Structure 1
Amino acid sequence: MSGATDIPYGIAETDSAVLRRRRHYDAFFGLDPLPARFGVVVGNCQAESLRIVLDAPGRPLVRVPPVHEMTAAEADRLHEVVARAAYVVSQPIRRDYRDLPLGTAQLATSLAPGARLITVPSVRFTGLHPFQAAIRVPGVEGDPPLVAYHDVRLLAEVAGSPVGPMLPPDGVRAVADDALAELRRREADIDVPVSDLFSPLTADHMRTVNHPGNAVWLPLAARVIDVLGLEGEPTDPGRPLLASVRAPLESWVVEAWDLPDAPRDHWLVDGAPVTTDAVREAHRAWYAAHPGFVDAAMARLAPLVRRWRTA
């Protein structure tokens, strides 16, 4: 097993941090035995939410680290675990992801005879937050402070070509349609689709543009159970999933979708309110220190910016 020096991506390299991480993924690291018949969900931070709603007493799923955190030793261990799994549910992962053998096709080579691997999409949807983007730019390390999301209105302002503060209802729906079209494109080679789950839309569908809520996870889990021929229903966790960061739910978005939910003009971060003004000023300072990010982000977000300009 990997030692303290293998703990990745900002986790403190102390014995207690190592032990906490290993205990969190206990069966994966061999601290607890693997179940006799089990499944695995592989992917980014969304994978754990899907695992939670799939896991049940007669349907155990082993918790594994998200692929963007894995070390070389952990990638090897994942192949060992996959080789003993009855089924694997995976988001699409490109070959040699982060120079490790974590690609979906690479994991499939480790399956035991009779085991199955099915794919689910990585979900992004902008219908509730048509001003928001979650992007990285090559050569620019890190994220802006407070929340790791970008507001196209602020980016456009900093770039010297501002857009309006809101979209009309048809503009909101156009941004949502763009997101669904992209999701459908990505679903072309996916076993279990999700794009049709966004109608009717509720505030519980997305916390941010890349963090789906329970309104997505529970029906998606039901589809996975059906495709795999498993027994039982999805497990309702009794709490909101992927809810540590919640973006504002702006009034014009609520009106565009005729949502029953009250608008919220602030962020919620670990349950604490953070004002949009605080986020804007912190991000404005970050953009000033990273001007290359602004230019690259505006280029990458050009289709979204055009929606805002033509609304």
Structure 2
Amino acid sequence: MRVKDFNYDLPKELIAQHPVEIRDESRLMVVNKTTKQIEHRHFKNIIDYLNSGDCLVLNNTRVLPARLLGVKEGTGGKMEFLLLKRIDINHWETLVKPGKKAKIGSRFIFGNGDLKATVISDSEGGSRIVEFEYDGIFEEILDKLGEMPLPPYITEKLKDKERYQTVYSREEGSAAAPTAGLHFTKELLEQIKTKGVKIAFVTLHVGLGTFRPVKAEIVEEHEMHSEYYMLNKETAEIINSAKENGGRVIAVGTTSNRTLESIADDNGKVCEKSGWTDIFIYPGYKFKIVDALITNFHLPQSTLIMLVSAFAGKDLIMSAYDIAVKEKYRFFSFGDAMFLH
């Protein structure tokens, strides 16, 4: 299977640079993978497609303000740090720009010296292991000094940090938002609960690998990045109960989907579990537990468009994307949504 088979033409002006004013006023394309019917709605209408007894599975990860702007000690040269993964209380794997100025032993200052960093070692993919020095609580300092690590295709500054968080975000650790969840408001979630739909939360900390392009020409040769996930006992019981009683398991986002498919056994049951997943879902994959999927519109030739193609069929997805372009849907992280069922 060729990566270029998942390409499509996207006018630059359709890449959403900012979120819509009201979260659930974004548009919603509803795609029935059985009948091939496509409907055009607004996200608040998602409730019309959810049934009592269904289980909506949301990723409650919270994005760290992981972009730090500082200077090199001694020279004052400007530097950008992007926190990728916490190793222990003071050590992080980071991307540093410009990398050539971040040799082992180099020291950097952020803010008014509230935070300092020393490069300890090199890591894979050009990243660095750094040790931070600070007084107080790291998370509070990061919240004060850090910026949201928006994807490279968003060039406008985000006015409100919380608009790159879901309203139910709780577990800090992501380098990017699980963007399908950005469309939900607290009021909409309450309406969904009132309808008899079960709400369950998993955690998958989204890594920056989600934005890395697929460099292989053949899909099967791509090596997937790994991400940390958690699913607790209570959540497992909610999901299994819904499935046993004939309800659908509806994943909100590719991250929830990958978490569920990583944990589910061949009978479509999940259990309490945590760990790292590098599951790569592309056409030909047989889904074990996910019955429907809420997702955004993804980059051409990305692992995410391959996942949705596996779920609904490549021809249907590529046709739906062509329609979305013609209908001027908004694309990517701050863009509109799809419901595949």
Q: TM-score, normalised by structure 1?
A: 0.25
Of Structure 1 and Structure 2, the greater helix share is in 1
Larger RCO (CA within 8 A; separation ≥ 6)? 2
More strand by share: 2
Q: Could you state the TM-score of these two structures normalised by the residue count of structure 2?
A: 0.24
